[in-house]
């Protein structure tokens, strides 16, 4: 190499290092200024990445297009360094700007430092993930991001090994992507971290987990958090050897620039090329401002620790290294720091102005409306008071403006004028706008929404075969796997056995272990696999063997799956299906029906409760045509009950939120779902014998529920209603009653009290007697209906006892 080339290379290296220094200085200034904005009342809460700037910078140098991040709320420097976060965007989120152009991470819906790249367009179509650096949507529950990380990494393995996906260039380049995970050291105490570590070691997927170790979990020292006070020491048993696969484990100091560069270069190479998971334990991290704006770290760190943190601040050590290497003099470094501060301050001011301008415009409009009201209603003193109060507010939020308008309306109750009509019109328009700003995107409203899938009925030949229900399900899965090359299923006993009820019998042999696979007993990361893979263009079915064990992964289902479309303001989605089975088997933990808990914790997920396995198959077919997540609960006692085998397997569909009137009647409406519905249906002959005309309705899905008001129409005809299920009192029956009687206005049509019939308030006892006395039985159902009819007409229906 010539002297000139050597000089140019050295100059380029120096420039890169100085750019690095400026970036970490900007990130630090963002943290410092962000805290001030909170403490002066311009933002609600702040949590920042100060102290972690240098290791995050080193990591970002190996973050390539197509890679994914699954991190947490300390990662602002990573996001800046990979070009996915500007200073203005950072402050826009801090101020909760609901404009996704200003805060593309969440549209103001998540508190600051919760990052996400936009992965779907307005039509619901995936963007080209290989043309950008990607980050999955952050959430606050510590370690919650770990389960998703497993699936993001596994997707690379699937794309590398599934030849049918070789042309899916929008999501992967031959499976060479790395999933980058970040977590605070204290959060490694969470069980989901350990479950992810174990599963990643078994699966051998390309992930790099960085543990930022600053010695504390908020105020709690790591001596109370981690055995040996070192997560890397504890994990040494996971380290790979020449004979056994496992993790690669590295240790590096947060303030050592060159060592950090070397460590992440090696970690990236191992994960990307060998598909081996890597853990990088970044030690001696500092946290200059403490955990968040909620408190001060001086309360729990002694003077010696505080002095050490000041000395070993990564930016301070980086500057010393630059000076030692004679790359720049002190005054030039001072200039870089001042430039960084100036740029951050200017961007912050711009972000604040862009946040305030549209609200101030609304304030001016409201002031004009109130002035008009005062002119027409000068006798209402409250109006002047509202005007003065609103005028005094300099840093105004939408709540201030809307609240003033609504209070003005109350003050004018019973009065009419054109100016009052103008106010009502303005508030109605703002209601629509704020609905979009703050309440939209719970579920898909794109053309790909599963709500748009039309019903296609099962078709049967003249001589339809009667088969076990599980055969309908199995043969339908066969069609799905053949039709969708990106479909895969995994869970306990799913692969070799074909699931515990043989609903996947023979599928692994036909489609291979990559697509039909067994997992360990680890429900949280089974869900995590599904989450991550669904975000990368795959269509996973994550099986949780029994509904009772959904609790192991309920946190991820509730906090992550149910909220992702909402918390990214439509920027991300998980088209994931969670398959499980429940209702009516034996004992406390194999007969679960905790539907009330589920539906109130997973708004944003479609909850399907089919009464048989043909209906279950129809729901799978529906969801594969849509872009939303679903929980499908197969009825446990249906696998060996006989059903007709449709000839259009893989094609017939069931609509979401559309009940089915299974029997029409005139006297009373009975509403149920799942296995309990079948029990109600078995009692129909007794109702007929007693002279009771029952209209029997299967809701089929609890989320969404009765979108076309079919149950209300039935109630208008019968004027009496009973809701039946096997959840605890006040559970899903209480939910259904609220939807029909309150939401749909069914109370107007009642001639008798609306009733619910549920299980006992405890878990079901074991065996047939336990089922009979714990859950609604045939006699309970008959007597509940009969009692309603007796109360209405004791002459026709004399008392039973």
Catalytic residue IDs: 590
Distance CA 712, CA 734 (A): 16
Q: Return the axis-axis angle of helices 3-39 and 53-60, rounded to nearest 10°.
A: 130
Question: Residue 242 is encoded by which pair of tokens?
Answer: 């020449």
Angstrom CA distances, 284 to 54, 58, 173, 265, 339, stand at 12, 16, 36, 20, 28
* 185 in Cβ contact with 227 (< 8 Å): no
Distance of CA 91 to the CA centre of its chain: 24
Q: Show Cβ contacts of residue 363 under 8 Å, excluding neighbours closer than 6 positions.
A: 390, 393, 396, 400, 401
3-state secondary structure of 102: coil
Distance CA 193, CA 71 (A): 12
How is residue 216 annotated by DSSP?
E
Q: How many CB atoms lie within 10 A of CB 299?
A: 8
775-778: long-range contacts at Cβ-Cβ below 8 A with a sequence spacing of 24 or more? Answer: 775/584, 775/591, 775/593, 775/676, 775/726, 776/676, 776/679, 776/724, 776/725, 776/726, 777/679, 778/679, 778/682, 778/683, 778/686
Distance CA 712, CA 740 (A): 6
Q: How many CB atoms lie within 10 A of CB 226?
A: 19
Kindly compute the dihedral angle of the four CA atoms of residues 50, 53, 55, 58, in this order, to the nearest 10 degrees: 160
Question: Residue 397 is encoded by which pair of tokens?
Answer: 């939020």
3-state secondary structure of 25: helix
User: Which residue is listed with tokens 């192991």?
Assistant: 552
Radius of gyration for the alpha carbons in the chain, expressed in angstroms and rounded: 30
| Cross-strand partners of 701 | 608
Q: Return the axis-axis angle of helices 191-203 and 523-534, rounded to nearest 10°.
A: 70
778-785: long-range contacts at Cβ-Cβ below 8 A with a sequence spacing of 24 or more? Answer: 778/679, 778/682, 778/683, 778/686, 781/670, 781/679, 781/680, 781/683, 781/724, 781/757, 782/683, 782/686, 782/687, 782/690, 784/722, 784/724, 784/755, 784/757, 785/668, 785/670, 785/687, 785/692, 785/694, 785/722
Distance CA 185, CA 279 (A): 12
| Size (the chain), residues | 801
Q: How many CB atoms lie within 10 A of CB 504?
A: 27
How is residue 653 annotated by DSSP?
B
Distance CA 177, CA 152 (A): 9
CB-facing half-sphere around the CA of 450: CA atoms within 13 A: 33
* 679 in Cβ contact with 732 (< 8 Å): no
* 476 in Cβ contact with 647 (< 8 Å): no
Buried b (16+ CB within 10 A) or exposed e, 192-215: bbbbbbbbbbebbbbbbbbbbbbb
Round to the nearest angstrom and report the end-to-end CA distance of the chain.
104
Question: Residue 649 is encoded by which pair of tokens?
Answer: 């397997």
* 687 in Cβ contact with 785 (< 8 Å): yes
């Amino acid at each position: 190499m010539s002297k000139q080339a050597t000089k140019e290379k050295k100059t380029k290296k120096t420039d890169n290092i100085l750019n690095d220094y400026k970036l970490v200085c900007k990130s630090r200034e963002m943290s410092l200024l962000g805290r001030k904005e909170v403490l002066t009342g311009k933002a609600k809460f702040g949590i920042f990445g100060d102290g972690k700037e240098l290791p995050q910078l080193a990591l970002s140098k190996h973050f390539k297009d197509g890679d994914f991040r699954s991190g947490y709320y300390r990662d602002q420097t990573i996001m800046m360094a990979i070009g996915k976060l500007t200073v203005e965007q950072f402050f826009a989120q801090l101020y909760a700007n609901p404009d996704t152009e200003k805060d593309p991470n969440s549209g103001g819906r998540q508190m600051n430092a919760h990052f996400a790249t936009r992965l779907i367009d307005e039509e619901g179509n995936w963007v080209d993930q290989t043309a950008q650096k990607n980050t999955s949507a952050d959430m606050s529950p510590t370690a919650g991001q770990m389960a998703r990380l497993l699936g993001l990494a596994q997707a690379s393995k699937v794309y590398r090994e599934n030849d049918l996906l070789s042309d899916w260039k929008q999501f992967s380049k031959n499976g060479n992507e790395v999933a980058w995970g970040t977590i605070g050291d204290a959060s490694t105490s969470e069980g989901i971290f350990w479950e992810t570590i174990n599963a990643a070691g078994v699966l051998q997927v390309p992930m790099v987990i960085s543990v930022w170790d600053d010695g504390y979990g908020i105020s709690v020292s790591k001596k109370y958090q981690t055995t040996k006070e070192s997560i890397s020491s504890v994990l040494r048993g996971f380290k790979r050897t020449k004979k056994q696969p496992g993790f690669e484990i590295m240790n590096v100091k947060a303030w050592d620039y060159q060592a950090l560069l070397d460590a992440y270069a090696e970690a990236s190479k191992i994960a990307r090329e060998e598909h081996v998971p890597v853990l990088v334990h970044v030690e001696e991290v500092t946290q200059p401002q403490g955990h968040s704006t909620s408190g001060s770290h001086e309360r729990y760190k002694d003077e010696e620790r505080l002095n050490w943190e000041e000395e070993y601040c990564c930016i301070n050590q980086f500057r010393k290294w630059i000076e030692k290497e004679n790359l720049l003099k002190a005054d030039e470094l001072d200039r870089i720091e001042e430039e960084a501060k100036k740029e951050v301050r200017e961007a912050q001011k711009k972000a604040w102005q862009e946040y305030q301008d549209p609200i101030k415009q609304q304030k001016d409009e409201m002031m004009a409306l109130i002035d008009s009201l005062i002119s027409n209603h000068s006798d209402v003193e409250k109006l002047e008071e509202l005007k003065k109060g609103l005028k005094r507010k300099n840093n105004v939020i939408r709540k201030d403006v809307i609240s003033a308008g609504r209070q003005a309306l109350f003050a004018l109750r019973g009065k009419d004028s054109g100016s009052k009509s103008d106010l009502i019109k303005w508030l109605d328009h703002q209601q629509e706008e704020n609905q979009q700003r703050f309440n939209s995107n719970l579920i898909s409203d794109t053309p790909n929404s599963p709500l748009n899938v039309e019903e296609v009925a099962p078709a049967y030949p003249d001589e339809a075969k009667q088969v076990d229900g599980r055969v309908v399900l199995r043969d339908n899965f066969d069609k799905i796997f053949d039709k969708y090359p990106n479909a895969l299923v995994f869970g306990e006993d799913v692969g070799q056995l074909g699931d515990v009820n043989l609903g996947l019998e023979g599928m692994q042999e036909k489609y291979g272990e990559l697509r039909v696979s067994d997992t360990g007993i680890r429900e949280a990361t089974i869900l995590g696999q599904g989450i991550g893979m669904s975000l990368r263009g795959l269509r996973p079915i994550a099986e949780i063997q029994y509904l009772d064990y959904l609790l192991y992964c309920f946190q991820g289902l509730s906090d992550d799956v149910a909220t992702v479309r909402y918390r990214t303001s439509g920027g991300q989605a998980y088209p994931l299906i969670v398959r499980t089975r429940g209702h009516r088997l034996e004992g406390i933990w194999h007969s679960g029906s905790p539907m009330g808990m589920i539906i109130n914790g997973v708004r944003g997920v479609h909850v399907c409760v089919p009464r048989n396995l043909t209906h279950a198959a129809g729901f799978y077919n529906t969801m594969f045509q849509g872009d939303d997540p679903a929980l499908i609960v197969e009825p446990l006692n249906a696998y060996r009950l006989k059903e007709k085998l449709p000839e259009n397997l893989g094609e017939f569909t069931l609509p979401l939120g559309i009940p089915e009137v299974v029997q029409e009647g005139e006297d009373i409406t009975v509403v149920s779902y799942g296995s309990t519905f079948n029990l109600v249906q078995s009692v129909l002959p007794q109702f007929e014998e007693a002279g009771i005309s029952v209209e029997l309705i299967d809701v089929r899905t609890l989320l969404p529920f009765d979108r076309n008001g079919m149950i209300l129409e039935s109630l208008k005809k019968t004027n009496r209603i009973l809701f039946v299920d096997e959840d605890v009192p006040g559970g899903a029956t209480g939910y259904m009653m609220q939807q029909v009687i309150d939401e749909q206005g069914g109370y107007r049509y009642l001639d008798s009290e609306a009733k619910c019939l549920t299980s006992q308030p405890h878990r079901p006892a074991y065996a047939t007697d336990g089922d009979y006395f714990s859950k609604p039985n045939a006699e309970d159902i008959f007597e509940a209906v009969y009692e309603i009819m007796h109360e209405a007409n004791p002459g026709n229906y004399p008392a039973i006892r």
